[in-house]
Amino acid sequence: MTDPIDDSDAEEPTLFRDIVAFMAAKKVSTKCPACGSASWDLIGTEDAENSLWPVIPTRGLTVDGNTTRMASRVIIAECNNCGFLRFHSYRTFEKWKAQKNKEGASKEIADE
């Protein structure tokens, strides 16, 4: 798969690279469903102190049947050509990353 995210910057933050690796591992299509472009940017920020990612407000149900407000963190990829927005669950990315880290730690122990 070609890189679904425009990574023309020389120094991408680690999280940016991890998201690109996640999308490649999951075989995310690089083609925009609206215009066919394969150039994307991520909406969100990462700096040395914190990461800021968009959330989608949702409602959930409690055990007693009441509704509660919730928010789901998302990775938003924006097409550089037409502006189409594509949403991916940040939670799914975090689970993938945790699994990769676990596999990496297991490999390091096996290599010792």
What residues form DSSP beta bridges with 64?
none
* pTM of full prediction above 0.75: no
Which H or E element spans position 51?
strand 51-52
Q: Which residue did the predictor score with more confidence, 12 or 61?
A: 61
How confident is the model over 99-109, as pLDDT tens digits?
998 887 766 56
How far apart (Å, rounded) are the C-alpha atoms in residues 23 and 90?
12
| Rounded mean pLDDT, 48-61 | 75
How confident is the model over 6-48, as pLDDT tens digits?
444 445 567 888 888 999 999 999 999 999 999 998 887 665 5
How far apart (Å, rounded) are the C-alpha atoms in residues 79 and 73?
19
Selection from 10-14, 50-54, 78-82 with the highest mean pLDDT? 78-82
